[in-house]
């Protein structure tokens, strides 16, 4: 039995795990589910000895193994298979297996026979002599699992193993995992796909915001229960708007049959002036690509996007911005900010043309920075601080301030996961600005994996599943139960 008790782990100012606990019984398939950023991978990397917890205990069969190394974990039979393969592409399967534990004199024939035996006994079919670079991703993953087993793993941790697999490969993987369990091994499966949990897991632990919020027997829960647990049950009281959105006025944004690669598969909707249009869904169902396509930096495969009646799907990001589209990207550190720029510099990103034709007007920049820092309460109140040194919530306030309060006016704000990972104070500042924008007749397209946020803000909520909208409900008809059911694809 493996158990993690009251694990805390911080990366700088970011909290990855907060009093997280997990108990996995020997001989079961145990799923750990949660949204991206919920802390699943961090928690299990601590279990596998790859990371050290700030506090808390790791217990293996009543032995305290807290802070052990990967080598110790492997010796004790705990092995982890990562989302990104850690194989040497130019070596053969066998060579990869023995890498790091190769004997002084290499008996290639015996090693490759051992791999073949293991492959046959587990049903993980691979050719021991094949070069890894010639393998499909499904085969490469089998090699990774074999590698862990070859090293004697009896407790196997798999991080999002199906992300790279085709459907038949997923079925094969399930067969292998069941066989392993039936031979007495333990499997921990990290995933955010609920159908996988229902298909394969005996037990499931749900994580949210770095915490473990519950453990269930899979046979006793529905996908909708799990979806609810993942996104949070506590519902903010409904906010009653002073005015209704102008549903009869000309729409500010019209999306028609939008297709973006494989991710978005024919989405249509319109947004009215003064409307907050929410998009719910388990992450990875196309929301990210939908927003990037509207903002202008993901390529539209087909379909149209109209802003106030003007087709914009071929316009540059900058032109779209000038036509009144603001954008809060879901990955603020990568897309929203230049971390090594100061707060003042970040507050003009994308609007730098308003601050000088040749020379940037430092004075004008300083005034703008002072104004936004005060209006959005960005702390510390220092425009010369590097964005990198701010807390997550204040970094997000910089992005929100620039997009919503900056020198360029907007009509539609595309907000993707605007409050993820931010503290409660920043969250309230951001929500207040969304409501203010709405009351001024501006519109927001709000993508969130936090149901309570959508229910507190949105006028309508669409649910996105596998690249499509499966439903669009008015707020009056929306509840966590209804949305959760659609999110799980069970409606």
Partner 1 sequence: MKALFPVLVGALVALVVGDVLILGVGQSPADVYRLLLEGTWGNPYGFAQVLYKATTLTFTGLAVALALRAGLFNIGAEAQLALGGFAASVAGLALPIHTPAFLAIVVCVVAAAAGGAVGGAVPGALNAWFGANEVITTILLNFVVLFFLNWVVTAHLHVPETVHTPALTNGIVPRLSVLIPAFRGSAANATVLLAIAAAVVTGWFVFRTRFGYELRAVGLSPDAAEAAGIVLPRVRVATFTLAGALAGMGGTNFVLGYKHYYEDGFTGGAGLIGIAVALAGRAHPIGIMLAALAFATLSQGGLAIHALVPKQMADILQGVVILAIAIASASRARS
d(C-alpha 286, C-alpha 279), whole Å: 11
**Residues in contact with partner 1, total (CB under 8 A)?**
31
The residue written with tokens 């501006």 in the block is 442
d(C-alpha 14, C-alpha 334), whole Å: 15
Least distance from C-beta 322 to partner 1, angstroms? 9
Residues 232-271 close enough to bind partner 1 by CB under 8 A: none
Among 80, 87, 145, 337, binds partner 1 (CB under 8 A): 337
Among 59, 118, 303, 341, binds partner 1 (CB under 8 A): 341
Cα radius of gyration (the chain): 25
Least distance from C-beta 299 to partner 1, angstroms? 12
SS3 401: helix
Least distance from C-beta 485 to partner 1, angstroms? 34
Taking alpha carbons only, the member of 461, 465, 455, 472 closest to residue 490 is 465
Least distance from C-beta 168 to partner 1, angstroms? 34
Residue range at the interface with partner 1 (CB under 8 A); choices 176-184, 257-265, 306-314, 346-354 = 346-354
**What separation in angstroms does the CA of 307 have from each of 255, 265, 295, 400, 444?**
9, 21, 11, 21, 13
Residues 280-299 close enough to bind partner 1 by CB under 8 A: 295-297
Sign, Cα dihedral of 268, 272, 273, 275: negative
d(C-alpha 284, C-alpha 298), whole Å: 15
Token pair recorded at residue 463: 């649910």
| Residue 371 in contact with partner 1, rule: CB under 8 A | no
Residue range at the interface with partner 1 (CB under 8 A); choices 35-43, 68-76, 330-338, 415-423 = 330-338
Output 107 or 352, the one with its CB closest to partner 1. Answer: 352
CB 245 within 8 A of CB 225: no
Strand 468-474 relative to strand 460-465: parallel, antiparallel, unpaired? antiparallel
Least distance from C-beta 387 to partner 1, angstroms? 10
Cα 46 to chain centroid distance, Å, stands at 20
Residues 427-456 close enough to bind partner 1 by CB under 8 A: none
d(C-alpha 276, C-alpha 273), whole Å: 9
Strand 310-311 relative to strand 155-159: parallel, antiparallel, unpaired? unpaired
Residue range at the interface with partner 1 (CB under 8 A); choices 187-195, 209-217, 326-334, 461-469 = 326-334
Output 5 or 361, the one with its CB closest to partner 1. Answer: 361
| Residue 363 in contact with partner 1, rule: CB under 8 A | no
Among 27, 214, 350, 441, binds partner 1 (CB under 8 A): 350
Token pair recorded at residue 48: 């596998």
Residue range at the interface with partner 1 (CB under 8 A); choices 19-27, 324-332, 428-436, 457-465 = 324-332
| Residue 356 in contact with partner 1, rule: CB under 8 A | yes
Among 1, 246, 317, 482, binds partner 1 (CB under 8 A): 317
CB 141 within 8 A of CB 81: yes
d(C-alpha 29, C-alpha 197), whole Å: 10
Least distance from C-beta 295 to partner 1, angstroms? 7
SS3 81: strand
| Residue 349 in contact with partner 1, rule: CB under 8 A | yes
| Residue 313 in contact with partner 1, rule: CB under 8 A | no
Among 340, 409, 428, 474, binds partner 1 (CB under 8 A): 340
Among 39, 284, 336, 392, binds partner 1 (CB under 8 A): 336
Output 216 or 341, the one with its CB closest to partner 1. Answer: 341
Among 52, 84, 353, 381, binds partner 1 (CB under 8 A): 353
| Residue 360 in contact with partner 1, rule: CB under 8 A | yes
Token pair recorded at residue 167: 């459907």
**What separation in angstroms does the CA of 328 have from each of 104, 293, 339, 385?**
56, 13, 15, 21
d(C-alpha 252, C-alpha 235), whole Å: 29
Binding site for partner 1 (CB under 8 A): 295-297, 316-318, 320-321, 327, 329, 331, 334-341, 345, 349-350, 352-353, 355-360, 362
């Amino acid at each position: 039995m493996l158990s993690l008790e009251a694990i805390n782990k911080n990366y700088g100012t970011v909290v990855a795990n907060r009093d997280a606990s997990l108990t996995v019984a020997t001989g079961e398939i145990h799923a750990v589910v949660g949204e991206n950023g919920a802390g699943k991978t961090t928690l299990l990397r601590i279990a596998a000895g790859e990371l050290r917890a700030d506090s808390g205990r790791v217990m293996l069969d009543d032995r305290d193994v807290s802070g052990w190394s990967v080598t110790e974990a492997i010796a004790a039979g705990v092995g982890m298979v990562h989302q990104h393969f850690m194989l040497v592409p130019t070596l053969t399967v066998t060579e990869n297996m023995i890498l790091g534990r190769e004997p002084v004199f290499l008996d290639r024939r015996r090693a490759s026979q051992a791999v073949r035996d293991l492959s046959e006994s587990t049903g993980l079919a691979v050719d021991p002599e094949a070069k890894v670079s010639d393998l499909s991703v499904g085969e490469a993953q089998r090699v990774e699992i074999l590698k862990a087993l070859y090293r004697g793993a009896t407790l196997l941790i798999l991080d999002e193993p199906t992300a790279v697999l085709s459907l038949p490969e997923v079925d094969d993987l399930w067969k292998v995992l069941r066989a392993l369990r039936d031979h007495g091994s333990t499997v921990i499966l990290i995933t955010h796909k609920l159908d996988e949990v229902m298909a394969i897991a005996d037990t499931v632990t749900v994580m949210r915001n770095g915490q473990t919020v519950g453990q269930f027997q899979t046979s006793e829960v529905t996908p909708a229960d799990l979806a609810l647990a993942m996104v949070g049950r506590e519902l903010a009281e409904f906010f009653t708007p002073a005015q209704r959105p102008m549903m009869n006025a000309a729409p500010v944004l019209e999306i028609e049959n939008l297709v973006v690669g494989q991710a978005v598969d024919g989405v249509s909707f319109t947004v009215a002036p003064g409307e907050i249009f929410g998009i719910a869904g388990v992450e990875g169902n196309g929301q990210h690509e939908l927003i990037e396509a509207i903002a202008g930096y993901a390529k539209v495969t087909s379909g149209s996007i109209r802003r106030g009646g003007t087709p914009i799907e071929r316009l540059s990001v900058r032109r779209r911005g000038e036509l009144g589209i603001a954008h809060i990207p879901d990955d603020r550190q990568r897309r929203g900010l230049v971390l090594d720029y100061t707060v003042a510099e970040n507050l003009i990103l994308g609007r730098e043309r308003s601050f000088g034709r040749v020379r940037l007007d430092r004075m004008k920049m300083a005034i703008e920075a002072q104004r936004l820092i005060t209006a959005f309460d960005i702390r510390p109140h220092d425009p010369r601080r590097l964005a990198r040194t701010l807390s997550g919530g204040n970094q997000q306030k910089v992005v929100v301030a620039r997009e919503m309060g900056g020198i360029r006016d907007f009509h539609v704000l595309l907000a993707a996961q605007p409050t993820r990972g931010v503290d409660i104070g920043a969250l309230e500042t951001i929500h207040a600005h969304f409501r203010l924008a709405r009351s001024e007749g501006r519109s927001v397209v709000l993508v969130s994996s936090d149901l309570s946020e959508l229910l507190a803000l949105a006028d309508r909520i669409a649910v996105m599943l596998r690249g499509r909208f499966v439903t669009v409900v008015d707020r009056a008809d929306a509840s966590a139960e209804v949305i959760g059911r659609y999110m799980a694809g069970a409606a």
